[in-house]
């Protein structure tokens, strides 16, 4: 790692100072895509790996106080480390569950970790498929009783002057003007799912939500 190669005396620094330096490398909250590789039977992500998990025992120990290895099934390995309270678990593909039952997978997260998951996002296309098998939208949400936010994500590629900033993508009630009928229809369908999920959350018993009902958002990605 460059910090060790560029500054060979780093190991001579007091342990307290080294730990403070490592702490400064912890990333800001991330959106972490969750995928399941059927080729190697393993959970993976397209998000870059956290290099300081591999630098040395000292940096790894510090990172493991923040990041948890995400295991959605005891039968399969995982390479995904996530900050359960800050990062967003983003199920952005149909290839995110070995058995095609995401509600079951989420229910398999260790009890001590499940309540710590605060943010989750689902691709709209995936959400539609999930609704075929489990009509109620809360099937994947209720198992995560500590959620603060749930996002349904509509993917949209825009170029040049039409590009939308990441901040704008995450705003509520985003209004899109122009564009083809197909995208406008996708927006309407996405808003329908968002409003339906909000309604289901509101009518669910308050005891399900340990820290208040989660906020539902529509993201364009």
Residue 174 lies in a domain: yes
Burial of residue 133, with CB atoms counted within 10 A of its CB: 0-12 exposed, 13-18 middle, 19 or more buried: exposed
Residue 65 lies in a domain: no
pTM: 0.81
State the residue range of the domain holding 140: 29-48+82-220
**For residue range 103-142, what is the model confidence (pLDDT) as tens digits?**
999 989 888 888 899 999 999 999 999 988 888 778 899 8
Buried/exposed code over 21-33 (b: 16+ C-beta within 10 A; e: otherwise): ebeeeeeeebbbb
Residue 168 lies in a domain: yes
Residue 18 lies in a domain: no
Residue 129 lies in a domain: yes
Number of domains, the chain: 1
Query: What's the average model confidence in pLDDT over 175-180?
Result: 41
Residue 206 lies in a domain: yes
Strand-strand pairing, 119-123 and 149-154: parallel
Q: Which of 113, 105, 99 is nearest to 64 (CA)?
A: 113
- 63-67, 109-113, 193-197, 202-206 — which one is most confidently predicted on average? 193-197
Residue 17 lies in a domain: no
Residue 60 lies in a domain: no
Please tell me the predicted confidence (pLDDT) of residue 133: 84
């Amino acid at each position: 790692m460059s910090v060790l190669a560029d500054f060979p005396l780093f190991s001579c620094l007091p342990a307290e100072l080294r730990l403070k330096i490592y702490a400064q490398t912890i990333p800001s909250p991330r959106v972490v895509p969750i995928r399941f590789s059927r080729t190697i039977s393993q959970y993976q992500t397209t998000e870059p790996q956290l290099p300081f998990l591999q630098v040395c025992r000292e940096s790894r120990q510090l990172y493991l106080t923040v990041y948890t290895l995400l295991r959605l099934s005891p039968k399969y390995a995982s390479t995904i480390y996530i900050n359960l309270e800050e990062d967003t678990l983003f199920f952005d593909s149909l290839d995110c569950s070995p058995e095609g039952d995401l509600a079951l997978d989420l229910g398999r997260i260790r009890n001590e970790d499940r309540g710590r998951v605060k943010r989750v996002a689902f691709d709209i296309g995936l959400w539609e498929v999930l609704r075929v098998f489990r009509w109620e939208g809360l099937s994947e949400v209720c198992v995560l009783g500590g959620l603060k936010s749930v996002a349904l994500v509509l993917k949209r590629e825009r170029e040049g002057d039409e590009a939308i900033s990441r901040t704008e993508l995450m705003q509520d009630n985003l209004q899109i003007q122009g564009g083809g009928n197909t995208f406008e229809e996708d927006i309407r369908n996405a808003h329908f799912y968002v409003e339906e999920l909000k309604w289901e959350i509101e009518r669910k018993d308050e005891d399900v939500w340990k820290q208040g009902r989660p906020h539902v958002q529509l993201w364009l990605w």
